[in-house]
Chain A
Protein backbone atom coordinates (compact mmCIF):
# COMPACT_ATOMS: atom_id res chain seq x y z
CA UNK A 1 0.00 0.00 0.00
CA UNK A 2 1.31 3.44 -0.86
CA UNK A 3 1.90 5.83 2.00
CA UNK A 4 1.98 9.58 1.49
CA UNK A 5 4.86 11.18 3.33
CA UNK A 6 5.71 14.83 3.75
CA UNK A 7 8.84 16.69 4.73
CA UNK A 8 7.56 16.72 8.28
CA UNK A 9 8.31 13.03 8.40
CA UNK A 10 11.92 13.89 7.86
CA UNK A 11 12.14 16.64 10.45
CA UNK A 12 10.37 14.96 13.33
CA UNK A 13 12.57 11.87 13.79
CA UNK A 14 15.75 13.82 13.06
CA UNK A 15 15.07 16.60 15.55
CA UNK A 16 13.89 14.17 18.22
CA UNK A 17 17.09 12.21 17.81
CA UNK A 18 19.21 15.33 18.02
CA UNK A 19 17.35 16.47 21.10
CA UNK A 20 17.88 13.12 22.78
CA UNK A 21 21.59 13.31 22.02
CA UNK A 22 22.00 16.97 22.90
CA UNK A 23 24.07 16.25 25.99
CA UNK A 24 26.58 14.48 23.83
CA UNK A 25 26.68 17.37 21.43
CA UNK A 26 26.61 20.57 23.44
CA UNK A 27 30.11 21.60 24.52
CA UNK A 28 29.08 25.02 25.75
CA UNK A 29 26.85 24.06 28.61
CA UNK A 30 29.50 21.75 29.95
CA UNK A 31 32.13 24.40 29.44
CA UNK A 32 34.35 21.87 27.76
CA UNK A 33 36.99 22.24 25.14
CA UNK A 34 36.89 18.63 24.05
CA UNK A 35 37.63 18.87 20.30
CA UNK A 36 35.38 15.95 19.51
CA UNK A 37 32.44 17.57 21.23
CA UNK A 38 33.14 20.85 19.50
CA UNK A 39 33.35 19.12 16.21
CA UNK A 40 29.95 17.50 16.74
CA UNK A 41 28.46 20.75 17.91
CA UNK A 42 29.73 22.47 14.82
CA UNK A 43 28.26 19.79 12.61
CA UNK A 44 24.85 20.60 13.97
CA UNK A 45 25.25 24.34 13.78
CA UNK A 46 26.67 24.07 10.30
CA UNK A 47 23.60 22.18 9.15
CA UNK A 48 21.44 24.79 10.81
CA UNK A 49 23.29 27.66 9.23
CA UNK A 50 22.17 26.51 5.83
CA UNK A 51 18.53 27.06 6.59
CA UNK A 52 16.88 30.35 5.78
CA UNK A 53 16.48 32.30 9.02
CA UNK A 54 12.70 32.14 8.97
CA UNK A 55 12.71 28.36 8.99
CA UNK A 56 14.94 27.87 11.98
CA UNK A 57 11.93 28.47 14.22
CA UNK A 58 10.92 25.00 13.20
CA UNK A 59 14.13 23.50 14.40
CA UNK A 60 13.06 23.35 18.00
CA UNK A 61 14.31 22.11 20.32
CA UNK A 62 17.98 22.51 19.55
CA UNK A 63 17.80 25.90 17.91
CA UNK A 64 16.18 27.25 21.06
CA UNK A 65 18.85 25.64 23.15
CA UNK A 66 21.43 27.36 21.02
CA UNK A 67 19.70 30.68 21.52
CA UNK A 68 19.64 30.01 25.25
CA UNK A 69 23.39 30.30 25.33
CA UNK A 70 24.67 33.63 26.51
CA UNK A 71 26.71 35.80 24.21
CA UNK A 72 29.47 35.84 26.76
CA UNK A 73 29.71 32.10 26.98
CA UNK A 74 29.58 31.79 23.22
CA UNK A 75 32.29 34.38 22.80
CA UNK A 76 34.57 32.97 25.44
CA UNK A 77 34.39 29.44 24.25
CA UNK A 78 35.07 30.28 20.67
CA UNK A 79 37.82 32.63 21.65
CA UNK A 80 39.47 29.92 23.72
CA UNK A 81 39.32 27.68 20.67
CA UNK A 82 40.88 30.37 18.59
CA UNK A 83 43.69 30.96 21.02
CA UNK A 84 44.50 27.28 21.28
CA UNK A 85 43.90 26.62 17.78
CA UNK A 86 45.13 24.75 14.84
CA UNK A 87 43.74 25.51 11.38
CA UNK A 88 41.20 22.73 11.79
CA UNK A 89 39.89 24.30 14.99
CA UNK A 90 39.54 27.57 13.18
CA UNK A 91 37.38 25.85 10.64
CA UNK A 92 35.37 24.09 13.26
CA UNK A 93 34.20 27.31 14.87
CA UNK A 94 33.29 28.97 11.58
CA UNK A 95 29.91 27.28 11.18
CA UNK A 96 28.90 28.45 14.62
CA UNK A 97 29.59 31.97 13.48
CA UNK A 98 27.36 31.53 10.48
CA UNK A 99 24.52 30.47 12.67
CA UNK A 100 25.23 33.04 15.32
CA UNK A 101 25.17 35.94 12.85
CA UNK A 102 21.40 35.63 12.78
CA UNK A 103 21.13 36.37 16.48
CA UNK A 104 20.97 40.14 17.01
CA UNK A 105 22.39 39.97 20.52
CA UNK A 106 25.48 38.23 19.16
CA UNK A 107 26.15 40.71 16.36
CA UNK A 108 28.99 42.59 18.05
CA UNK A 109 30.51 39.41 19.36
CA UNK A 110 30.45 37.77 15.97
CA UNK A 111 32.05 40.76 14.30
CA UNK A 112 34.81 40.79 16.87
CA UNK A 113 35.45 37.11 16.35
CA UNK A 114 35.52 37.56 12.60
CA UNK A 115 38.15 40.24 12.95
CA UNK A 116 40.19 37.94 15.11
CA UNK A 117 39.85 35.07 12.65
CA UNK A 118 40.93 37.35 9.80
CA UNK A 119 43.95 38.43 11.74
CA UNK A 120 44.70 34.89 12.74
CA UNK A 121 44.43 33.63 9.19
CA UNK A 122 46.62 36.28 7.63
CA UNK A 123 49.01 36.55 10.55
CA UNK A 124 49.93 32.90 10.60
CA UNK A 125 49.68 32.29 6.85
CA UNK A 126 47.73 29.17 7.33
CA UNK A 127 47.89 26.71 4.51
CA UNK A 128 44.55 24.98 4.24
CA UNK A 129 43.27 22.57 1.60
CA UNK A 130 41.59 24.52 -1.16
CA UNK A 131 37.98 23.85 -0.27
CA UNK A 132 38.57 24.56 3.39
CA UNK A 133 40.31 27.81 2.61
CA UNK A 134 37.37 28.64 0.44
CA UNK A 135 34.97 27.89 3.22
CA UNK A 136 36.80 30.12 5.61
CA UNK A 137 36.71 32.88 3.03
CA UNK A 138 33.00 32.31 2.58
CA UNK A 139 32.45 32.67 6.28
CA UNK A 140 34.40 35.87 6.41
CA UNK A 141 32.56 37.09 3.38
CA UNK A 142 29.19 36.47 4.93
CA UNK A 143 29.70 37.61 8.44
CA UNK A 144 32.37 40.19 7.77
CA UNK A 145 31.13 42.08 4.74
CA UNK A 146 32.87 45.41 4.38
CA UNK A 147 35.13 46.58 1.59
CA UNK A 148 36.77 43.18 1.14
CA UNK A 149 33.47 41.86 -0.17
CA UNK A 150 33.99 42.42 -3.88
CA UNK A 151 37.57 41.13 -3.88
CA UNK A 152 36.67 38.02 -1.93
CA UNK A 153 33.61 37.39 -4.08
CA UNK A 154 35.70 37.56 -7.24
CA UNK A 155 38.27 35.13 -5.84
CA UNK A 156 35.50 32.87 -4.69
CA UNK A 157 33.96 32.69 -8.12
CA UNK A 158 37.30 31.96 -9.77
CA UNK A 159 38.05 29.25 -7.26
CA UNK A 160 34.69 27.58 -7.73
CA UNK A 161 34.90 27.59 -11.51
CA UNK A 162 38.22 25.77 -11.48
CA UNK A 163 37.21 23.31 -8.85
CA UNK A 164 35.08 20.69 -10.52
CA UNK A 165 36.81 17.32 -10.24
CA UNK A 166 35.32 14.25 -11.95
CA UNK A 167 32.50 12.88 -9.89
CA UNK A 168 33.89 9.35 -9.83
CA UNK A 169 36.24 10.71 -7.18
CA UNK A 170 33.13 10.92 -5.05
CA UNK A 171 34.14 10.69 -1.42
CA UNK A 172 33.55 12.62 1.78
CA UNK A 173 35.94 15.34 0.72
CA UNK A 174 34.29 15.83 -2.64
CA UNK A 175 30.85 15.96 -1.04
CA UNK A 176 32.22 18.56 1.33
CA UNK A 177 33.58 20.47 -1.62
CA UNK A 178 30.20 20.36 -3.38
CA UNK A 179 28.55 21.53 -0.19
CA UNK A 180 30.84 24.51 0.08
CA UNK A 181 30.64 25.25 -3.63
CA UNK A 182 26.85 25.29 -3.36
CA UNK A 183 26.98 27.55 -0.38
CA UNK A 184 29.41 29.87 -2.10
CA UNK A 185 27.25 29.93 -5.21
CA UNK A 186 24.20 30.79 -3.15
CA UNK A 187 26.16 33.63 -1.60
CA UNK A 188 27.23 34.94 -4.99
CA UNK A 189 23.69 34.77 -6.23
CA UNK A 190 22.45 36.53 -3.12
CA UNK A 191 24.91 39.32 -3.83
CA UNK A 192 23.79 39.49 -7.50
CA UNK A 193 27.23 38.36 -8.68
CA UNK A 194 27.16 36.38 -11.91
CA UNK A 195 26.97 32.68 -11.09
CA UNK A 196 25.36 31.07 -14.14
CA UNK A 197 28.34 28.85 -14.94
CA UNK A 198 28.44 27.56 -11.39
CA UNK A 199 24.73 26.93 -11.35
CA UNK A 200 25.05 25.08 -14.65
CA UNK A 201 27.76 22.85 -13.22
CA UNK A 202 25.90 22.23 -9.96
CA UNK A 203 22.62 21.55 -11.77
CA UNK A 204 24.37 18.53 -13.24
CA UNK A 205 26.80 17.57 -10.47
CA UNK A 206 24.47 17.72 -7.46
CA UNK A 207 21.66 15.47 -8.75
CA UNK A 208 24.19 13.00 -10.16
CA UNK A 209 26.16 12.84 -6.93
CA UNK A 210 22.92 12.66 -4.98
CA UNK A 211 21.72 9.55 -6.81
CA UNK A 212 25.19 8.01 -6.53
CA UNK A 213 25.19 8.65 -2.76
CA UNK A 214 21.91 6.79 -2.52
CA UNK A 215 23.31 3.89 -4.51
CA UNK A 216 26.40 3.81 -2.30
CA UNK A 217 24.17 3.87 0.78
CA UNK A 218 25.82 6.96 2.18
CA UNK A 219 23.02 8.65 4.06
CA UNK A 220 25.36 11.38 5.30
CA UNK A 221 26.35 12.37 1.76
CA UNK A 222 22.77 12.14 0.56
CA UNK A 223 21.51 14.49 3.28
CA UNK A 224 24.16 17.09 2.49
CA UNK A 225 23.60 16.94 -1.26
CA UNK A 226 19.84 17.18 -0.92
CA UNK A 227 20.35 20.24 1.20
CA UNK A 228 22.50 21.78 -1.55
CA UNK A 229 19.79 21.07 -4.11
CA UNK A 230 17.16 22.62 -1.88
CA UNK A 231 19.28 25.65 -1.19
CA UNK A 232 19.82 26.37 -4.88
CA UNK A 233 16.31 25.34 -5.91
CA UNK A 234 17.67 22.60 -8.17
CA UNK A 235 15.75 19.60 -6.87
CA UNK A 236 13.65 17.72 -9.41
CA UNK A 237 10.52 15.63 -8.91
CA UNK A 238 12.50 12.42 -9.40
CA UNK A 239 15.07 13.37 -6.83
CA UNK A 240 12.34 14.40 -4.45
CA UNK A 241 10.77 11.00 -4.92
CA UNK A 242 13.79 8.74 -5.17
CA UNK A 243 16.45 10.40 -3.04
CA UNK A 244 14.10 12.14 -0.60
CA UNK A 245 12.21 8.98 0.12
CA UNK A 246 15.42 7.05 0.53
CA UNK A 247 16.75 9.55 3.04
CA UNK A 248 13.48 9.52 4.92
CA UNK A 249 13.58 5.74 5.23
CA UNK A 250 17.11 5.88 6.57
CA UNK A 251 16.34 8.62 9.04
CA UNK A 252 13.42 6.64 10.37
CA UNK A 253 15.50 3.52 10.61
CA UNK A 254 18.31 5.35 12.33
CA UNK A 255 15.96 7.06 14.74
CA UNK A 256 14.86 3.66 15.95
CA UNK A 257 18.39 2.55 16.70
CA UNK A 258 19.33 3.04 20.32
CA UNK A 259 22.97 3.82 19.60
CA UNK A 260 22.19 5.44 16.37
CA UNK A 261 23.79 3.81 13.42
CA UNK A 262 24.92 1.20 11.35
CA UNK A 263 24.34 -0.55 8.15
CA UNK A 264 23.24 2.42 6.16
CA UNK A 265 26.50 4.19 6.63
CA UNK A 266 29.84 3.54 5.11
CA UNK A 267 29.96 0.16 3.57
CA UNK A 268 33.70 0.50 3.25
CA UNK A 269 34.43 0.91 6.92
CA UNK A 270 33.03 -2.35 8.14
CA UNK A 271 30.06 -2.90 10.37
CA UNK A 272 31.55 -2.16 13.76
CA UNK A 273 29.96 0.83 15.38
CA UNK A 274 32.64 3.23 16.37
CA UNK A 275 33.03 6.92 16.79
CA UNK A 276 33.12 7.66 13.06
CA UNK A 277 29.65 6.21 12.80
CA UNK A 278 28.39 8.38 15.61
CA UNK A 279 29.72 11.47 13.91
CA UNK A 280 28.17 10.39 10.63
CA UNK A 281 24.90 9.69 12.41
CA UNK A 282 24.96 13.20 13.71
CA UNK A 283 25.58 14.53 10.23
CA UNK A 284 22.70 12.57 8.79
CA UNK A 285 20.29 13.77 11.44
CA UNK A 286 21.42 17.38 11.47
CA UNK A 287 21.39 17.75 7.71
CA UNK A 288 18.16 15.80 7.34
CA UNK A 289 16.50 18.12 9.82
CA UNK A 290 17.80 21.04 7.80
CA UNK A 291 16.57 19.51 4.51
CA UNK A 292 13.13 18.94 5.98
CA UNK A 293 12.99 22.33 7.60
CA UNK A 294 13.72 24.17 4.42
CA UNK A 295 10.63 22.71 2.82
CA UNK A 296 8.45 22.37 5.85
CA UNK A 297 6.17 25.24 5.04
CA UNK A 298 5.36 23.84 1.63
CA UNK A 299 4.44 20.43 3.05
CA UNK A 300 5.59 19.01 -0.19
CA UNK A 301 5.09 15.34 -0.83
CA UNK A 302 8.43 13.70 -1.33
CA UNK A 303 7.37 10.18 -1.98
CA UNK A 304 4.65 7.64 -2.05
Chain B
Protein backbone atom coordinates (compact mmCIF):
# COMPACT_ATOMS: atom_id res chain seq x y z
CA UNK B 1 0.00 0.00 0.00
CA UNK B 2 1.34 3.40 -0.99
CA UNK B 3 1.83 5.85 1.83
CA UNK B 4 2.48 9.42 0.71
CA UNK B 5 2.87 12.27 3.15
CA UNK B 6 0.20 14.98 3.20
CA UNK B 7 2.85 17.55 2.36
CA UNK B 8 3.89 15.61 -0.72
CA UNK B 9 0.31 15.20 -1.93
CA UNK B 10 -0.42 18.89 -1.35
CA UNK B 11 2.64 19.88 -3.33
CA UNK B 12 1.58 17.62 -6.23
CA UNK B 13 -1.80 19.39 -6.42
CA UNK B 14 -0.36 22.83 -5.88
CA UNK B 15 2.19 22.45 -8.64
CA UNK B 16 -0.26 20.94 -11.11
CA UNK B 17 -2.88 23.64 -10.55
CA UNK B 18 -0.10 26.22 -10.77
CA UNK B 19 0.84 24.87 -14.18
CA UNK B 20 -2.80 24.90 -15.21
CA UNK B 21 -3.15 28.57 -14.17
CA UNK B 22 -0.11 29.61 -16.21
CA UNK B 23 -1.11 27.52 -19.17
CA UNK B 24 -4.76 28.60 -19.33
CA UNK B 25 -3.85 32.28 -19.05
CA UNK B 26 -1.39 31.94 -21.92
CA UNK B 27 -3.91 30.39 -24.29
CA UNK B 28 -5.15 32.73 -27.02
CA UNK B 29 -7.95 30.60 -28.38
CA UNK B 30 -9.56 27.35 -27.34
CA UNK B 31 -11.82 24.85 -28.99
CA UNK B 32 -14.62 23.09 -27.12
CA UNK B 33 -12.51 20.05 -26.25
CA UNK B 34 -9.71 22.11 -24.73
CA UNK B 35 -12.14 24.40 -22.90
CA UNK B 36 -13.93 21.49 -21.26
CA UNK B 37 -10.64 19.76 -20.47
CA UNK B 38 -9.41 22.93 -18.71
CA UNK B 39 -12.69 23.23 -16.84
CA UNK B 40 -12.66 19.59 -15.75
CA UNK B 41 -9.05 19.67 -14.68
CA UNK B 42 -9.52 22.88 -12.72
CA UNK B 43 -12.62 21.42 -11.08
CA UNK B 44 -10.75 18.25 -10.19
CA UNK B 45 -8.07 20.45 -8.62
CA UNK B 46 -10.76 22.15 -6.58
CA UNK B 47 -12.83 19.11 -5.57
CA UNK B 48 -10.09 16.53 -5.06
CA UNK B 49 -7.10 18.80 -4.40
CA UNK B 50 -9.07 21.38 -2.39
CA UNK B 51 -7.39 24.11 -4.38
CA UNK B 52 -8.97 27.58 -4.35
CA UNK B 53 -6.86 28.45 -7.34
CA UNK B 54 -8.45 25.47 -9.11
CA UNK B 55 -11.87 26.91 -8.36
CA UNK B 56 -10.86 30.31 -9.75
CA UNK B 57 -9.66 28.74 -13.01
CA UNK B 58 -12.88 26.72 -13.21
CA UNK B 59 -14.95 29.89 -12.83
CA UNK B 60 -12.97 31.58 -15.62
CA UNK B 61 -13.42 28.60 -17.92
CA UNK B 62 -17.11 28.35 -17.06
CA UNK B 63 -17.51 31.96 -18.12
CA UNK B 64 -15.84 31.25 -21.45
CA UNK B 65 -17.97 28.17 -22.07
CA UNK B 66 -21.14 30.06 -21.19
CA UNK B 67 -20.50 32.83 -23.67
CA UNK B 68 -19.42 30.84 -26.68
CA UNK B 69 -20.84 28.31 -29.08
CA UNK B 70 -18.79 25.63 -30.78
CA UNK B 71 -19.19 23.48 -33.84
CA UNK B 72 -17.11 20.43 -33.05
CA UNK B 73 -18.21 17.16 -31.45
CA UNK B 74 -17.42 16.32 -27.86
CA UNK B 75 -17.42 13.14 -25.79
CA UNK B 76 -20.97 13.16 -24.34
CA UNK B 77 -19.67 12.28 -20.87
CA UNK B 78 -17.36 15.29 -20.87
CA UNK B 79 -20.28 17.39 -22.00
CA UNK B 80 -22.54 16.22 -19.18
CA UNK B 81 -19.97 16.56 -16.42
CA UNK B 82 -19.04 20.02 -17.70
CA UNK B 83 -22.65 21.13 -17.73
CA UNK B 84 -23.01 19.93 -14.16
CA UNK B 85 -19.97 21.94 -13.14
CA UNK B 86 -21.32 25.03 -14.87
CA UNK B 87 -24.56 24.63 -12.98
CA UNK B 88 -22.69 24.25 -9.70
CA UNK B 89 -20.79 27.47 -10.42
CA UNK B 90 -24.03 29.30 -11.24
CA UNK B 91 -23.47 29.49 -14.99
CA UNK B 92 -25.86 28.59 -17.78
CA UNK B 93 -24.83 27.66 -21.30
CA UNK B 94 -27.77 27.55 -23.70
CA UNK B 95 -25.47 26.10 -26.32
CA UNK B 96 -24.43 23.12 -24.16
CA UNK B 97 -27.96 22.61 -22.86
CA UNK B 98 -29.16 22.39 -26.43
CA UNK B 99 -26.59 19.67 -27.02
CA UNK B 100 -27.76 17.77 -23.97
CA UNK B 101 -31.34 17.93 -25.23
CA UNK B 102 -30.13 16.43 -28.51
CA UNK B 103 -28.25 13.76 -26.58
CA UNK B 104 -31.37 12.80 -24.64
CA UNK B 105 -33.31 12.44 -27.87
CA UNK B 106 -30.56 10.22 -29.23
CA UNK B 107 -30.57 8.03 -26.12
CA UNK B 108 -34.35 7.68 -26.20
CA UNK B 109 -34.20 6.52 -29.82
CA UNK B 110 -31.48 3.91 -29.29
CA UNK B 111 -32.35 0.22 -29.80
CA UNK B 112 -31.76 -2.18 -26.88
CA UNK B 113 -28.20 -3.14 -27.84
CA UNK B 114 -27.24 0.50 -28.40
CA UNK B 115 -28.42 1.35 -24.90
CA UNK B 116 -26.18 -1.31 -23.38
CA UNK B 117 -23.04 -0.07 -25.15
CA UNK B 118 -20.50 0.89 -22.44
CA UNK B 119 -20.30 4.55 -23.38
CA UNK B 120 -24.09 4.88 -23.58
CA UNK B 121 -24.48 3.17 -20.22
CA UNK B 122 -22.21 5.79 -18.70
CA UNK B 123 -24.05 8.60 -20.46
CA UNK B 124 -27.35 7.29 -19.11
CA UNK B 125 -25.78 6.95 -15.66
CA UNK B 126 -24.84 10.65 -15.76
CA UNK B 127 -28.19 11.77 -17.17
CA UNK B 128 -29.95 9.83 -14.41
CA UNK B 129 -27.90 11.58 -11.73
CA UNK B 130 -28.89 14.89 -13.29
CA UNK B 131 -32.46 13.66 -12.82
CA UNK B 132 -33.19 13.84 -16.53
CA UNK B 133 -33.94 10.14 -17.13
CA UNK B 134 -34.38 6.98 -15.06
CA UNK B 135 -31.13 5.14 -14.23
CA UNK B 136 -29.94 2.22 -16.37
CA UNK B 137 -30.28 -1.19 -14.72
CA UNK B 138 -27.40 -3.56 -14.09
CA UNK B 139 -29.24 -6.24 -16.09
CA UNK B 140 -29.18 -3.96 -19.13
CA UNK B 141 -25.40 -3.90 -19.00
CA UNK B 142 -25.36 -7.69 -19.33
CA UNK B 143 -26.88 -7.35 -22.78
CA UNK B 144 -23.60 -6.02 -24.12
CA UNK B 145 -21.51 -8.80 -25.64
CA UNK B 146 -18.28 -8.63 -23.65
CA UNK B 147 -15.22 -9.50 -25.75
CA UNK B 148 -13.44 -12.69 -24.70
CA UNK B 149 -10.57 -11.99 -22.26
CA UNK B 150 -8.10 -13.42 -24.77
CA UNK B 151 -8.91 -10.40 -26.96
CA UNK B 152 -8.39 -7.74 -24.33
CA UNK B 153 -4.67 -7.29 -24.81
CA UNK B 154 -4.87 -7.47 -28.57
CA UNK B 155 -6.79 -4.30 -29.31
CA UNK B 156 -6.68 -0.96 -27.51
CA UNK B 157 -10.25 -0.04 -28.43
CA UNK B 158 -11.62 -3.33 -27.12
CA UNK B 159 -9.67 -2.98 -23.89
CA UNK B 160 -10.88 0.56 -23.41
CA UNK B 161 -14.51 -0.46 -23.93
CA UNK B 162 -14.17 -3.42 -21.57
CA UNK B 163 -12.83 -1.21 -18.79
CA UNK B 164 -15.60 1.34 -19.41
CA UNK B 165 -18.13 -1.46 -19.22
CA UNK B 166 -16.63 -2.89 -16.03
CA UNK B 167 -16.54 0.59 -14.51
CA UNK B 168 -20.22 1.10 -15.20
CA UNK B 169 -21.08 -2.42 -14.02
CA UNK B 170 -19.55 -1.61 -10.64
CA UNK B 171 -21.40 1.73 -10.65
CA UNK B 172 -17.94 3.25 -10.41
CA UNK B 173 -17.15 1.41 -7.22
CA UNK B 174 -20.53 1.61 -5.50
CA UNK B 175 -21.83 -1.84 -6.41
CA UNK B 176 -20.51 -4.98 -4.74
CA UNK B 177 -19.21 -7.02 -7.66
CA UNK B 178 -19.17 -10.25 -5.67
CA UNK B 179 -22.85 -10.02 -4.93
CA UNK B 180 -23.95 -9.26 -8.48
CA UNK B 181 -21.92 -12.10 -10.08
CA UNK B 182 -20.14 -9.81 -12.49
CA UNK B 183 -19.14 -11.70 -15.64
CA UNK B 184 -15.40 -12.01 -16.30
CA UNK B 185 -14.54 -10.80 -12.80
CA UNK B 186 -11.84 -13.45 -12.42
CA UNK B 187 -10.37 -12.58 -15.80
CA UNK B 188 -10.39 -8.90 -14.87
CA UNK B 189 -8.56 -9.65 -11.63
CA UNK B 190 -5.98 -11.72 -13.49
CA UNK B 191 -5.43 -9.44 -16.45
CA UNK B 192 -6.06 -5.80 -15.52
CA UNK B 193 -2.90 -5.30 -13.40
CA UNK B 194 -0.71 -6.43 -16.30
CA UNK B 195 -2.70 -4.45 -18.84
CA UNK B 196 -2.41 -1.29 -16.73
CA UNK B 197 1.31 -1.88 -16.48
CA UNK B 198 1.56 -2.40 -20.25
CA UNK B 199 -0.38 0.78 -21.00
CA UNK B 200 1.72 2.85 -18.60
CA UNK B 201 4.92 1.33 -19.88
CA UNK B 202 3.81 2.40 -23.38
CA UNK B 203 3.21 5.93 -22.01
CA UNK B 204 -0.47 5.62 -22.82
CA UNK B 205 -1.55 7.53 -19.73
CA UNK B 206 -5.15 7.84 -20.90
CA UNK B 207 -5.62 4.09 -21.09
CA UNK B 208 -3.38 3.38 -18.10
CA UNK B 209 -5.34 5.81 -15.92
CA UNK B 210 -8.62 4.36 -17.14
CA UNK B 211 -7.55 0.83 -16.19
CA UNK B 212 -6.26 1.96 -12.80
CA UNK B 213 -9.57 3.65 -12.00
CA UNK B 214 -11.41 0.53 -13.09
CA UNK B 215 -9.16 -1.57 -10.83
CA UNK B 216 -10.12 0.63 -7.90
CA UNK B 217 -13.84 0.20 -8.65
CA UNK B 218 -13.31 -3.56 -8.78
CA UNK B 219 -11.32 -3.40 -5.55
CA UNK B 220 -8.21 -4.81 -7.22
CA UNK B 221 -5.72 -3.10 -4.94
CA UNK B 222 -2.66 -5.23 -5.47
CA UNK B 223 0.99 -4.34 -5.87
CA UNK B 224 0.34 -3.57 -9.55
CA UNK B 225 -2.21 -0.91 -8.61
CA UNK B 226 0.20 0.71 -6.17
CA UNK B 227 2.97 0.68 -8.75
CA UNK B 228 0.64 2.24 -11.31
CA UNK B 229 -0.24 5.08 -8.93
CA UNK B 230 3.42 5.55 -8.15
CA UNK B 231 4.16 5.70 -11.87
CA UNK B 232 1.58 8.48 -12.27
CA UNK B 233 3.24 10.50 -9.51
CA UNK B 234 6.56 10.10 -11.27
CA UNK B 235 5.03 11.48 -14.43
CA UNK B 236 4.78 14.94 -12.86
CA UNK B 237 7.31 17.31 -14.37
CA UNK B 238 9.09 20.11 -12.57
CA UNK B 239 6.62 22.67 -14.01
CA UNK B 240 3.69 20.73 -12.46
CA UNK B 241 2.24 19.21 -15.63
CA UNK B 242 2.06 15.44 -16.03
CA UNK B 243 3.54 13.49 -18.90
CA UNK B 244 7.14 12.53 -19.49
CA UNK B 245 7.71 11.97 -23.17
CA UNK B 246 9.13 8.75 -24.44
CA UNK B 247 11.88 10.11 -26.66
CA UNK B 248 11.52 7.15 -29.00
CA UNK B 249 7.86 7.60 -29.77
CA UNK B 250 5.81 10.46 -28.56
CA UNK B 251 7.03 13.66 -30.04
CA UNK B 252 7.03 12.28 -33.54
CA UNK B 253 3.28 12.82 -33.67
CA UNK B 254 2.67 15.70 -31.28
CA UNK B 255 2.16 19.12 -32.82
CA UNK B 256 1.42 21.19 -29.77
CA UNK B 257 3.09 19.76 -26.68
CA UNK B 258 0.93 21.57 -24.09
CA UNK B 259 -2.44 21.23 -25.77
CA UNK B 260 -2.12 17.82 -27.35
CA UNK B 261 -0.09 16.01 -24.75
CA UNK B 262 0.44 17.71 -21.39
CA UNK B 263 -3.13 18.90 -20.91
CA UNK B 264 -4.84 15.52 -21.54
CA UNK B 265 -2.09 13.64 -19.66
CA UNK B 266 -2.35 15.97 -16.68
CA UNK B 267 -6.12 15.68 -16.66
CA UNK B 268 -6.00 11.88 -16.66
CA UNK B 269 -3.28 11.72 -14.01
CA UNK B 270 -5.07 14.13 -11.65
CA UNK B 271 -8.41 12.43 -12.21
CA UNK B 272 -6.93 9.03 -11.33
CA UNK B 273 -4.90 10.31 -8.38
CA UNK B 274 -7.86 12.31 -7.12
CA UNK B 275 -10.10 9.24 -7.09
CA UNK B 276 -7.33 7.22 -5.45
CA UNK B 277 -7.00 9.64 -2.54
CA UNK B 278 -10.65 10.57 -2.08
CA UNK B 279 -12.31 7.24 -2.86
CA UNK B 280 -14.89 9.25 -4.82
CA UNK B 281 -15.53 8.60 -8.52
CA UNK B 282 -15.83 11.63 -10.77
CA UNK B 283 -18.61 9.89 -12.72
CA UNK B 284 -20.68 9.64 -9.57
CA UNK B 285 -20.80 13.43 -9.48
CA UNK B 286 -19.51 13.57 -5.89
CA UNK B 287 -20.12 17.30 -5.56
CA UNK B 288 -23.87 17.04 -6.13
CA UNK B 289 -24.83 16.15 -2.58
Say yes or no: A303 contacts B193, CB within 8 Å: no
Complex CA gap A215/B154 in Å reads 6
Which residues of chain A (240-277) have a CB below 8 Å from chain B? 241-242, 245-246, 268
Which residues of chain B (124-173) have a CB below 8 Å from chain A? 149-150, 152-154, 159
Say yes or no: A216 contacts B248, CB within 8 Å: no
Contact among B153, B222, B228 for A204, CB-based, below 8 A: B222
Minimum CB–CB distance from B230 to chain A (whole Å) comes to: 7
Which residues of chain B (216-245) have a CB below 8 Å from chain A? 222-224, 227-228, 230-231
On chain B, the residues within 8 Å of A304 by CB distance are 150
On chain A, the residues within 8 Å of B187 by CB distance are 238, 242
Contact among B198, B224, B231, B249 for A214, CB-based, below 8 A: B198
Main secondary structure of the interface of A (DSSP, over half): helix
Digitize A207-228: 1 where CB-to-B-CB distance is under 8 Å, 0 elsewhere.
1111111111000000000000
The answer to the question of B56 belonging to the interface, with a C-beta cut-off of 8 Å to chain A, is no
A-B interface pairs (CB < 8 A), number: 82
Minimum CB–CB distance from A38 to chain B (whole Å) comes to: 29
What is the size category of the interface that chain A forms with chain B? 20 to 34
Say yes or no: B191 contacts A211, CB within 8 Å: yes
B194: nearest residue on chain A (CB-CB)? A211
What is the size category of the interface that chain B forms with chain A? 20 to 34
On chain B, the residues within 8 Å of A245 by CB distance are 150
The answer to the question of A168 belonging to the interface, with a C-beta cut-off of 8 Å to chain B, is yes
On chain A, the residues within 8 Å of B228 by CB distance are 168
Say yes or no: B149 contacts A242, CB within 8 Å: yes
A303: nearest residue on chain B (CB-CB)? B150
Complex CA gap A212/B152 in Å reads 11
Say yes or no: B197 contacts A242, CB within 8 Å: no
B228: nearest residue on chain A (CB-CB)? A168
Say yes or no: A242 contacts B198, CB within 8 Å: no
Say yes or no: A207 contacts B190, CB within 8 Å: yes
Say yes or no: B153 contacts A214, CB within 8 Å: yes
